[in-house]
Structure 1
């Protein structure tokens, strides 16, 4: 086996200042992710000009991280699993919480010998395998957070740049809260580089995170520990039993103009079909989802009678009544799904119809629907809800609304965003904001080699993909 060019040269534990010990119970949305992989996302930067050595840069990030976890203290905790007993002492179940005892996060310093920025983001090519070496904990699932850190960052020195890879326990929170935390850390790092000595370490302008978990009972009270009807959780954690099949991973760019054209084509098709309501409601997300869904079905050469579905991760915060505040720090996501449709029907009905089908699935995800899903989960708890691989489906996660390029640690905007190997399978798509802004989107597309080759030969798909360029970001 070829040795990775990435070598870890130091490992540090960073702890928050002492505080009263606290337990934060995990609730429905958190627990359903215990079998999923850690989040792996990272930012590629040009060489920072403000540090004498690479170790000095890592020292700077470590000091800012220590300040950040003083506020975001659950990130430095561990998962705790407690058994519950009846009056006779028999085990009736167990619960999981975040034990906020300041156990610490980890910072890894690494060197990628001979690897340049151009090797990490080659134009019009697959994401190189070396990118996976920028992320630790490649085999961990969220359940392992009772022994492993909930957050690990690996700072890798390239020949002409820096990659900062974040590995984060998904049972702790969703992507919205994760990127809020990373942005808070970056903001503190920028402040530390300001010329005024002794400046503030946590900016008062940032709203503090809300750690109290949501309860589905409708009373407005904080969530109590959810007692799962299992004496032991280990046997209910779904871990891969064999290596995953080969897959290819490509980053594809869709400019604001391309997305507008996709949206308008969907709108016109819906108007022609007499669906004025669907035409009025169509969004760029629906239009892009329609393109991906239909082209994936073609690339897989799905049998005409085979039923196919589209799934996506949806943020529950603004859909609940009353809504959860934006600073809610936990998971607030569900998977939404279209109704199943025969592959031949999906392709025959076309772009506008598929966009409207995605729109109906999203529109149906209301407060009532979210609470019904929570009640159904409570009646039959599952610990692997987001292991959603289905050879006849696709799944979209992440969001172009996440402020990934706002994470400036003090030496400028990132050159690119990349993910590790976690949570990837045939038919998985992650959406990122396009670097130039303006509503553009980058899509991380994962398919088997055979299916990716077929997608690369799909004229409709590639007519919508924009040139792989990285211009200066627009406001």
Structure 2
């Protein structure tokens, strides 16, 4: 299986079907966007089973699918026009200026690729660990967002397997967070479905959730935010992960209910959510699997959506970055493991509750006083970082092929202790993608407390 590689067949650049007046203006980046210039693109994709018509006429099915995807993408880009642009930097010394923004007017457009792989769905989903070949289902391998000056800001790669289709989307993280990523993916699928059901292929003008492209800046700031640099070498870092094992762990709705009940009972409360309990389980189990010294500090970070926490709140359809890495307090590993699940879950609950408008604005204002560009390499190696969210509508993205059989991700943002949370295929379930050093992963697989709650996946 390791000898089989993804073979790229074709490549296109897709323009918006038509250019709006707004798309001809610079699209400015906010502090939350600019801080991500040195981290990776977001890479997520869905694996579909080929429908029966693909068996009857393989060539016609593939050609029809690709044409439908390209046409609907062109229309989706009218609504999400920044994704068809490129990053541009304007610099001057007097006055001092280092301005990065999106030029939507002078760009080759979004990238669309078609590739093949002589493997089956079973070859991808059956192994215990996620096969490395999955990383080849995405463009922008190891690229950082600043590379959007000369690379597409979004690429769709359609990889055809023997019995399946993988649609991988790679999006520049400076343009949006996970909420924005899945918003675009969902709407693109919605337009595709409307076309397939008889909608005019060129004029699907109405969509269910138009993106809110008006930028959010703190009072008195924006739209031009100048960075305190003279050259990108001052803030761009290239991160290479050590050899990791990557596994998907499935948690059924029933298992999550038991986990939540256990955490709340131990803390004598009813306020701990299923996700907080699950995050606490992973934090404790990974810390134990690493065999960390009892006095070594550890924390658990969660990527929190700030849209509804601002006052006034941002629209849920705000297109951009509105996330904040909330964190539990650093505690000694020994103390974390001496206490039970409920104790750890309550620490996370407190961190979530305390993430409010005041904290968000204080963090943003501090960044404006001393701008910093985040680096993937600075994550604390003794801690756990949980990204993405099971709240995203992942399996509602169908492209006429029915519900996907699985979700997978690329190389981006993976380091020891990185966990990504996904909506499970079965309603109410959650999948957790865990990346660990090999020895730690082996220990996690033997951890009784952890494996007690892991469910059998039927993918």
8 A contact 1:116–1:159 mirrored in 2: yes
The correspondence of residues 46-57 of structure 1 with structure 2, limited to 5 A, is: 46-49=49-52, 52-57=60-65
8 A contact 1:50–1:411 mirrored in 2: no
TM superposition shift of 1:204: 3.0
**Which of 364, 367, 376 pairs up with 2:354?**
364
Judge which range, 168-177 or 382-391, deviates more: 382-391
**Which of 94, 107, 116 pairs up with 1:111?**
116
Equivalent-residue separation in structure 1 for 2:215 and 2:199 (angstroms): 38
**Which of 282, 288, 295 pairs up with 1:305?**
295
Q: Does 1:68 align with 2:76?
A: yes
Judge which range, 230-239 or 293-302, deviates more: 230-239
**Which of 134, 138, 144 pairs up with 1:135?**
138
TM superposition shift of 1:387: 4.9
Unpaired runs of 5+ in structure 1? 272-278, 471-475
**DSSP 3-state at the match of 2:299:** strand
Equivalent-residue separation in structure 2 for 1:450 and 1:238 (angstroms): 28
TM superposition shift of 1:56: 2.6
8 A contact 1:192–1:201 mirrored in 2: no
| Residue of structure 2 equivalent to 1:245 | 242
| Residue of structure 2 equivalent to 1:281 | 271
8 A contact 1:35–1:387 mirrored in 2: no
**Which of 405, 411, 415 pairs up with 1:425?**
415
| Residue of structure 1 equivalent to 2:222 | 223
Equivalent-residue separation in structure 1 for 2:192 and 2:144 (angstroms): 29
Equivalent-residue separation in structure 1 for 2:347 and 2:19 (angstroms): 51
| Residue of structure 2 equivalent to 1:274 | none
Change (3 A) 1:162 1:102: farther
Deviations 1:6-48 (A, max 9, x none): 1001101101123441111111110111111111100000113
| Residue of structure 1 equivalent to 2:264 | 267
**Which of 20, 28, 31 pairs up with 1:28?**
31
Change (3 A) 1:4 1:96: farther
TM superposition shift of 1:49: 4.2
Equivalent-residue separation in structure 1 for 2:178 and 2:376 (angstroms): 14
Q: Does 1:174 align with 2:177?
A: yes
**Which of 82, 97, 103 pairs up with 2:101?**
97
Deviations 1:330-380 (A, max 9, x none): 000111011111111111111100000001111111000000110111122
Equivalent-residue separation in structure 1 for 2:378 and 2:255 (angstroms): 29
| Residue of structure 1 equivalent to 2:152 | 149
Equivalent-residue separation in structure 2 for 1:186 and 1:203 (angstroms): 14
Equivalent-residue separation in structure 2 for 1:422 and 1:317 (angstroms): 24
Equivalent-residue separation in structure 1 for 2:378 and 2:204 (angstroms): 38
| Residue of structure 2 equivalent to 1:275 | none
8 A contact 1:388–1:395 mirrored in 2: no
With structure 1 as the length reference, what TM-score do the two structures score? 0.91
8 A contact 1:336–1:362 mirrored in 2: yes
Equivalent-residue separation in structure 2 for 1:199 and 1:55 (angstroms): 16
Equivalent-residue separation in structure 1 for 2:343 and 2:204 (angstroms): 48
| Residue of structure 1 equivalent to 2:14 | 14
**DSSP 3-state at the match of 1:96:** strand
Change (3 A) 1:83 1:430: same
TM superposition shift of 1:192: 1.2
Judge which range, 202-211 or 127-136, deviates more: 202-211
Equivalent-residue separation in structure 1 for 2:233 and 2:443 (angstroms): 40
Equivalent-residue separation in structure 2 for 1:468 and 1:410 (angstroms): 24
Deviations 1:390-435 (A, max 9, x none): 2111100000000000101112111110001111000000000110
**Which of 429, 432, 443 pairs up with 1:440?**
429
Deviations 1:197-226 (A, max 9, x none): 637843635131111111112x6xx83111
Equivalent-residue separation in structure 2 for 1:77 and 1:199 (angstroms): 23
With structure 2 as the length reference, what TM-score do the two structures score? 0.94
8 A contact 1:247–1:425 mirrored in 2: yes
8 A contact 2:71–2:201 mirrored in 1: no
8 A contact 2:13–2:110 mirrored in 1: yes
**Which of 255, 259, 271 pairs up with 1:258?**
255
Unpaired runs of 5+ in structure 2? 55-59
8 A contact 2:241–2:414 mirrored in 1: no
Equivalent-residue separation in structure 1 for 2:307 and 2:333 (angstroms): 33
TM superposition shift of 1:91: 5.3
Equivalent-residue separation in structure 2 for 1:426 and 1:178 (angstroms): 24
Equivalent-residue separation in structure 1 for 2:192 and 2:52 (angstroms): 15
Equivalent-residue separation in structure 2 for 1:269 and 1:386 (angstroms): 35
TM superposition shift of 1:232: 2.0
Deviations 1:163-190 (A, max 9, x none): 0111110000011011011111001111
**DSSP 3-state at the match of 2:408:** strand
8 A contact 2:43–2:410 mirrored in 1: yes
**Which of 327, 330, 334 pairs up with 2:320?**
330
